[in-house]
Structure 1
Amino acid sequence: MKFTDGYWMMLPGVRSQSPVDVLDVESGPGSLSVYGTVWPIRDRTDLLAGPLVTLTFTAPMADVIAVTITHLDGGDPRGPEFPVTAFAGMKGIVHETEEKAVLASGALSAHVSRSAPWRVEFRAGDRVLTASRAKSTAFIETGDGSHYIREQLDLGADHFVYGLGERFGPMVKNGQSVDSWNADGGTSTEQSYKCVPFYLTNAGYGVFVNHPGKVSFEVASEAVSRVQFSVRDQSLQYFVIHGPTPKEILRKFTALTGRPALPPAWSFGLWLSTSFTTSYDEETVTGFVEGMRERDLPVSVFHFDCFWMREFQWCDFAWDPRTFPDPRGMLARLKERGLRICLWINPYVAQRSPLFAEGKAKGYFLKRPDQEVWQWDLWQPGLAVVDFTNPAARDWWTAKLDALLDMGVDCFKTDFGERIPTDVAYFDGSDPERMHNYYSYLFNECVFELLRSRFGAGGAVVFARAATAGGQRFPVHWGGDCECTFEAMAENLRGGLSLGMSGFGFWSHDIGGFIGTPEPELFKRWIAFGLLSSHSRLHGHDSYRVPWLFDEESVRVLRTFTELKCRLMPYLYEVAREACTGGVPMMRAMPIEFPGDPSCTHLERQYMLGPDLLVAPVLTHGGHVAYYVPEGTWTSFRTGEPTRGGRWVRETHAFDSVPLLVRPGAVIPVGAIGDRPDYDYGTGVTLRAYELAEGRTVTVTVPSPDGRPCSTFTVTRRGGAVHAERHGAPGEWRLLLVGVRKVASVLGGTMEPHEHGTLLQATGNRLTAVR
């Protein structure tokens, strides 16, 4: 929210007060409290009125400092609160001198000047990361009587801001105004389904505003050399998180707010949907499934969208008997084909639904302040909203889902949950403004925990649209409703990269777009992008998304990229495990992997899939694509051709191709199975070694999707030879030296020529290739 009229003046009716002098400093065990006055203290008459600004500094974990700004502290705290972890035994180190007071947390420290002008610096060693200076911290009153707390943190001339949730505009947020307020606005506006009040910078730090309600950010906009954030409240807490690298910032941010659970391996395969308003029944569904099987197109999950239930009764969780007279039998028949089943749900109950009267009688819905059930006609006539702060309502609602799991359902698409009203009363007394965004957390948590209770750790997955900070715990999330255009494809990519820089490890989108029917050219280009995303779903609004309805080439393109993803699963599932243990997303914006390369700062039409694969989707007609390749000699995964880095590349690609480059020095494990995502990755695996430098050792972990021990390999180039070893249980494996056309001899195996280099077949656990 903007408060100023240029540099000198405030907007009409706006009054701002900022600390100018430090009145006093108090230190406690691992904490620092600073009291600031809003005018200079010249004599005792200046001590007779306020306000008094209170800043409290604490250290919830190493390299993180929490700052709480407080004005009036007499109100009772009202939830909800983000689930933030404070690490046991962690305390900041306080140091005071006549000039300043300091609280240190690991390599990060906050320095408060005791003398005018007011200044709070956040330092890493001797380097100032950012600072709050005179007039940055403020209590602000507006003409309507609202009270805001505002903070501004300095932004250097070469500093850039990322994150703030799934935002579909430019990936670099400098110059933007961003409100953290969930809305169902599609992918082509400034609104967002997933608002996260956290931003990441290229200057070695990130900032998390710990407020679940509306947080307004002015990113180098109102004050062009600062990031401003404000809340309508009497207190504001934010965390400064030191990296110094983007990966370390994300690791620490997700340590505070939670990391995603590991989705089951089957969820990484192809999802096929009925689409939204299309007509379908068991015959239609079976026809889709059989059509995919006949064309050698492996499907892992079949999704039933809204009309599995009867119209005007969403959500009553009852199959429409006119269309699905035998749902249990139908699901059994589909599961015999090896499919997992997903059902569309949302947290609303239409008035015509039999559940409405039941929920109303038991008090399970959000209520108006007069205790009447809150209702409106948007989306479904007379719908009510489930109150997930009521434990009995949660149990009642999840029992309906549990019955569907008994039928054979495996997961749910948790749609909606964004436009949650604020003129309501919650069962637990939560503040409705603070609950607006946080509702999505409770909604997805409720469903995810039910699935985890049924299927165990590693067996739960949702397909969620709405989220806020902490929602990354409940994967997967998808990008929402987009048009069927190349521009919308680019919007989705920007949104996914922005969400990944906000702590979310897994993300998907509707292949081909949602609104309308894509042209075959667009559909085929989107297939490559979709299958090289963390999760891959064919879904649309009013038309089916089976490929043969577009053209036969679409069938071949889908087969090519579905097989590619399945064979990449030994690599991808390890990347997924790292997202869960380290907080770094599977799909990584280029500044995450290359923070020292200024050419990567604004790149938003390409990404890294894990640490070693560069993907540049084709986003234009004609197959033309331009992308940047960082330093080194990169290699095309598809053709084995080398590409010199440190420059932009322009290419034209056929529909069965996309820029997919391997980082120099990488070893990529490639699986032996191309028709399903969940298999024994360690059996028959091929290690593809690219441009290994002399003396370099690469350790490769090949995970197991079923909980068995992982396979670990080491590949070393030393003294003109490449040495590879499998550690642990023996098994069939191979080593492909990409780009190496001649090997003098091989020990521990056999060799044969390969289109990409030389292929070595191991006969034991060790291989040595003499070059």
Structure 2
Amino acid sequence: MWGKRTGYEKEGRRVSIQFEGGTGRIEVVNAGVINVFAPLHTQEHESRAVEQPNPAFVVCDYTVSERDGRIEIVTEQLIVRVYDHFKVDFYDAAGTPLCLDYRGEREPFPRRGNVSIAEGEGHAAMRTSEHHKIQVLKAMEGEEKFYGLGDKTGPLNKRGYEYEMWNTDDPSPHVESHKSLYKSIPFFITLKERAAYGLFFDNPFKTFFDLGKENSDYYYFGADGGNLDYYFIYGPDPKNVVSRYTALTGRTPLPQLWTLGAHQSRWSYAPESRVLEIAEKFREHDLPLDVIHLDVDYMDGYRVFTWDDERFPDPAALTKRLGEMGIKVVTIIDPGVKKDRGYGIYEEGLEKGFYATDRDGVPYVNAVWPGDSVYPDFSDEPVRRWWADNQKIMLDAGIAGIWNDMNEPASFNGPLPDDVRFKNDGRGADHLEIHNVYGHLMSKSTYDGILEASGKRPFVITRAAYAGTQKYSTVWTGDNQSFWEHLRLSIPMTLNLGLSGFAFNGCDVGGFSHDCTPELLARWVQVGAFSPLFRNHTAIGTRDQEPWAYDEDTLDAYRKAMKLRYRLLPYLYDLMREAEQTGLPPMRPLLLEFPEDEHVHELDDQFLFGSRMLVAPVIEQGKRYRAVYLPEGSWVDYRSGETLEGGRVILAEAPLDVCPIYVRAGSFLPAYPDQKYVGELKIKELLLDVYPGTGEYVHTQDDGESFDYRSGSYNEYRFSQSEQDGELEIAWEASHAGYDGETYASFRLTVHGRSASSVELNGEAIPFLAEIRGTTFHVPAGSGKVRLIR
């Protein structure tokens, strides 16, 4: 459609390029991020993901010239060349090709035979994807690997797969052939031998991604509506890509500390006596727990923002009693509002015109849990404000967080028609445009309401999402199954979510549907212990999935994994602080830290917890050992203390209660003492596990619940270690002192794998305990230097 170039204009950060068939635009977001835009639907960006003001937009110098039949735009880091037909190529500053438009036409691999015969028997026959109104083809060099796209099924590397971005409530067992699930995150990272880059197709309509499945000569993305609007995000390493993408779409704010504890859920815990029984059983069995989730059966006839008076006669008294046990409550809220005269929420929304409508302006009705229901129009600011204000109803009852579900939006009497109308903040839109951002806007409204009502960091969990939802909500991977295959799938799904900006994510530990076996639960909790969001959740009609419902071996393995998670909470909290600052997720594929090691590019059954811990869970039934790949460097077996050299595969023993874990030499791991819930103990002494080598670590402390840390109300401690002449020197300093709450009085350091004849603090000998596995001693918090002398 574009035809030949006819001219160009430079204005500010934009270069508008005229073609025979229309106008395209190149915008320099910063030296390493370029936007390619054409106004096919609206004249300007109307992004729900890229909000303004935006820290990614940085004024930088660039030049524009016309040469050899192209427009050339040059920044400090990139060269962008634009040709006839709006072909756009990207090079690094040295002129090395990074990402080039494919010059040929789509040419799918041939498919043979009469597929209708197979479909007649019930087979899902493969068909070639249709051509799309918007379609960008990129040339494949051959060695590309692709990551991201949210929590799509399949392996970590998405090469050879195709996906669709259309938020879909699909409870059938998730397998690799699923093209769509609950979230639409149209962003992926390409890793090549020379560099890494990201492509973010910011189009809320249904979008399509083919990563070399149709033809190995190219990959493509496209849509049938909206604008041509994509961002090229340069690395040159994957870490920089993630950091730049999250600067653009937003980063996960530091959550309240209790949200990183254990969550327990079921469809459903009701009545309130059952909720109290669950809480008491956790305490009785010495199992840490911070949160119980209430599913839809707490409501009065599934009416949102209500309580069933018989099952839950006094919600405030219940949450108070649970609070005395150190347990908070999170309640589910769906978007479907019951169509019911006399129901206040419905009546108010109807009176104010707050619901999505049909073409005639009549509120659209479909069925969800309450039966006939209407759908709040979250695309309109007054509706978001109204919904935000309603969060106070739940918070006044003592609820600590909100779980948004069924917000794809889901429906029982067939999907919402394409022509359902939304106000879209003044520019009307239909369901095709709003569908993928519906859950995103609901999460934003919920976040804003909790923040205003409580003043604390909001805890919101959502099933449906779009790019940028990480600013408002944590996510989980939806309705999985209690299958070993789903345990295996959960690792690349959550890793790719992390690469897609969602640092705070998890899955239903133990599986939602089907019955979880004892061994599967024991192995799943060992993965869940390192997931930023830990929630054990199961469906109505399944067997009990609480750990005491199984045998003693399972209960012991579960307890061991949970106590390890709670021990590492300060480390996870530091990682979440890092996520807010850099966008890097706590749960990471190895390629994020070791992109030049080709052995880790396809590795999706082990992962890193931050940059310092390697976790290699068992994900096969009956296995009591597994192969583990250790990257280059020295690694310490977390269980045995043995130091191992990397760059090789080892065979690790893994009894039922053991998940193989390895720590990089030179690491510090902050830890808490054993506690049943966050806040049970006043932590006056921070525990610090030290793994000898050379390294640094920054630990922060704040009130764990407010945003005061953003204005300086936090303490920061910097630790470093180095070895000289066989002696280990450890130094620390209080690099920032802005928090005057419960602060540390001392540190207890355990130096693993190192025996000492003496320990000197600032040149003076201090007491220490020497054991087979290491040396332990106590030092005052603040600043100091210790030498371990052999």
Q: Return the TM-score normalized by structure 1.
A: 0.88
CA distance in 1 between partners of 2:105 and 2:256 (Å): 46
Residue number among 174, 177, 182 corresponding to 2:159 in the alignment: 174
Match of 1:731 among 740, 745, 749: 745
Query: Against the structure 1 CA distance between its residues 626 and 697, is the aligned structure 2 distance closer, same or farther, given a 3 Å change threshold?
Result: closer
Match of residue 465 from structure 2 = 467
Counterparts of 1:679 and 1:201, CA distance in 2: 45
CA distance in 1, matches of 2:545, 2:605: 24
Higher mean displacement: 372-381 or 175-184: 372-381
Query: CA 1:358–1:29 in structure 2 vs 1: closer, same or farther (change >3 Å)?
Result: closer
Cα deviations by residue, 1:112-170 (Å, 9 ceiling, x for unpaired)? 358x99663333432211111434799xxxxxx99712111223211111111111212
- Asked if structure 2 preserves the Cα contact closer than 8 Å seen for 1:79 and 1:431, the reply is no
Q: What amino acid maps onto 1:762 in structure 2? A: V
Choose from 276, 284, 309 the match for 2:267. Answer: 276
CA distance in 2, matches of 1:120, 1:531: 43
Question: Partner letter of residue 374 of structure 2?
Answer: A
Name the CA distance, whole Å, in 1 between partners of 2:387 and 2:700. 39
Residue 337 of structure 1: aligned partner: 325
- After superposition, give the CA deviation of every residue in 1:188-210 in whole Å (9 maximum; x if it has no partner): 33322121111111132111112
Q: Deviations over 1:162-183 (max 9, x none)?
A: 1111112122111111111111
| In 2: Cα distance, 1:704 partner to 1:356 partner | 41
Report 1:172-321 matches (<5 A).
Answer: 172-186=157-171, 187-188=174-175, 189-203=178-192, 204-233=196-225, 235-273=227-265, 275-277=266-268, 280-310=270-300, 313-321=301-309
The 8 Å contact of residues 79 and 434 in structure 1, kept in 2 or not, is answered as: no
- 1:502 alignment counterpart: 500
Distance 1:553 1:383 in 2: 46
Contact 2:618 2:626 in 1 (8 A): yes
2: CA distance, partners of 1:221 / 1:25? 36
Map 1:319-718 → 2, pairs under 5 A = 319-352=307-340, 354=343, 355-419=345-409, 421=416, 422-428=418-424, 429-457=428-456, 459-542=457-540, 543-623=543-623, 624-678=625-679, 683-692=684-693, 696-706=694-704, 707=709, 708-718=714-724
1:733–1:79 Cα change, 3 Å: closer
CA contact (8 A) 2:102 2:218 kept: no
Which amino acid in 2 is paired with 1:426? F
Instruction: Confirm whether residue 108 of structure 1 aligns to residue 78 of structure 2.
Output: yes
CA offsets, 1:655-714, max 9 Å, x none? 22101111232222222344334578974223322240xxx3423324335354133322
Q: Report the alpha carbon displacement of residue 371 of structure 1 after superposing the two structures with TM.
A: 1.6
Aligned match of 1:750: 767
Letter in 1 for 2:363: V
Is residue 2:726 matched to residue 1:720? yes
SS of residue in 2 equivalent to 1:363: coil
| Amino acid corresponding to residue 103 of structure 1 in structure 2 | I
Cα distance in 2 for residues equivalent to 1:676 and 1:156: 52
Which shifted more, 616-625 or 677-686? 677-686
Higher mean displacement: 315-324 or 747-756 = 747-756
Structure 2 vs 1, CA of residues 697 and 541 (structure 1 numbering), >3 Å: closer, same or farther?
A: closer
Contact 1:33 1:56 in 2 (8 A): yes
Change (3 A) 1:136 1:571: farther
Q: Is the 8 A contact 2:769 2:775 kept in 1?
A: yes
Contact residue 672 and residue 681 of structure 1 kept, 8 A: no
Pick the aligned partner of 1:58 from 27, 39, 44.
Answer: 27
User: 1:434-454, CA deviations, whole angstroms, 9 ceiling, x for partnerless residues?
Assistant: 211111111001111111223
Tell me the alpha carbon deviations over residues 392-418 of structure 1, each in whole angstroms, 9 at most, x when there is no partner: 433433333211211111101111211
- Aligned twin of 2:117: none
SS at match of 1:347: coil
Distance 1:613 1:390, change over 3 A: same
Matches of 1:681 and 1:718 in 2, distance apart?
A: 37
Specify whether residues 326 and 31 from structure 1 end up closer, same or farther in structure 2 by C-alpha distance, changes over 3 A only: closer
Q: Counterpart of 2:688 in structure 1: which amino acid? A: L
Give the distance between the partners of 2:145 and 2:664, measured in 1 at CA: 25
Gap change, CA 1:462 and 1:402, over 3 Å in 2: same
Partners of 2:103 and 2:650 lie apart in 1 by 47
Structure 1 counterpart of 2:49: 82
Kindly provide the amino acid, as one letter, of the partner of residue 605 in structure 1. D
The CA distance in 2 between the partners of 1:118 and 1:556, in whole Å, is 60
Q: Contact 2:692/2:728 (CA < 8 Å) preserved in 1?
A: no
Distance 2:659 2:337 in 1: 44
The aligned counterpart of 2:787 is 768
Give, as a single letter, the amino acid of the residue that structure 1 aligns with 2:789: V
AA paired with 2:663? V
Q: Is the 8 A contact 1:29 1:91 kept in 2?
A: no
The 5 A counterparts of 1:120-139 are: 120-135=89-104
Q: Report the 3-state secondary structure (helix = DSSP H, G, I; strand = E; otherwise coil) of the residue aligned with 1:576.
A: helix
1:12 corresponds in structure 2 to none
Secondary structure of the corresponding residue to residue 443 of structure 1: helix
Aligned partner of 1:370: which letter?
D
Contact 2:336-2:368 at 8 Å conserved across structures: no
- Residue number in structure 2 paired with 1:43: none
Structure 1 residues 80 and 29, CA, compared in 2 at 3 Å: closer, same or farther?
closer
Q: Contact conserved, 2:617 with 2:660, CA < 8 A, in 1?
A: yes
Cα RMSD for the two superposed structures:
2.7
Q: Structure 1 residues 127 and 686, CA, compared in 2 at 3 Å: closer, same or farther?
A: same
Higher deviation after alignment, 237-246 or 179-188: 179-188
Once structures 1 and 2 are overlaid, which stretch shifts more, 86-95 or 364-373? Answer: 86-95
Q: Which amino acid aligns with 1:669?
A: P
Residue 114 of structure 2 aligns with which residue? none
Indicate the SS of the match to 2:387.
Answer: helix
SS in structure 1 opposite 2:82?
strand
Q: Distance in 2 between matches of 1:659 and 1:527?
A: 13
- Are the aligned partners of 1:493 and 1:605 in contact in 2 as well (CA < 8 Å)? yes
Letter aligned with residue 565 of structure 1: R
Contiguous gaps of at least 5 residues in structure 1:
1-16, 38-51, 139-144
Identical-residue share of aligned pairs (%): 28
CA distance in 1, matches of 2:359, 2:246: 36
Structure-1 separation of matches of 2:759 and 2:576: 37
Distance 1:299 1:81, change over 3 A: closer
Q: TM-score scaled by structure 2?
A: 0.86
1:201 partner letter: T
Partner of 2:116: none
Task: Give the equivalent residue in structure 2 for 1:152.
Answer: 137
- Partner amino acid, structure 1, of 2:447: F
| Contact 2:279–2:327 (CA under 8 A) maintained in structure 1 | no
SS of the aligned residue for 1:668 comes to strand
After TM superposition, give the deviation of residue 314 of structure 1 in Å.
2.2
> Counterpart of 2:421 in 1: which secondary structure?
coil
Q: Distance in 2 between matches of 1:92 and 1:237?
A: 23
Q: Is the 8 A contact 2:696 2:718 kept in 1?
A: no
In structure 2, the residue matched to 1:759 is 776
**Matched residue type, 1:589:** P
TM-aligned CA deviation for residue 591 of structure 1: 1.2
Instruction: Flag the 1:254–1:357 CA change in 2: closer, same or farther, 3 A.
Output: same
Instruction: Go from structure 1 to structure 2 and tell me whether the alpha carbon gap of 1:690 and 1:368 turns closer, same or farther (over 3 Å shift).
Output: same
Aligned residue for 2:481, secondary structure, equals coil
For residues 378 and 340 of structure 1, do their structure 2 counterparts lie closer, same or farther at Cα, with a shift above 3 Å needed? closer
| Alignment-mate amino acid for residue 455 of structure 1 | S
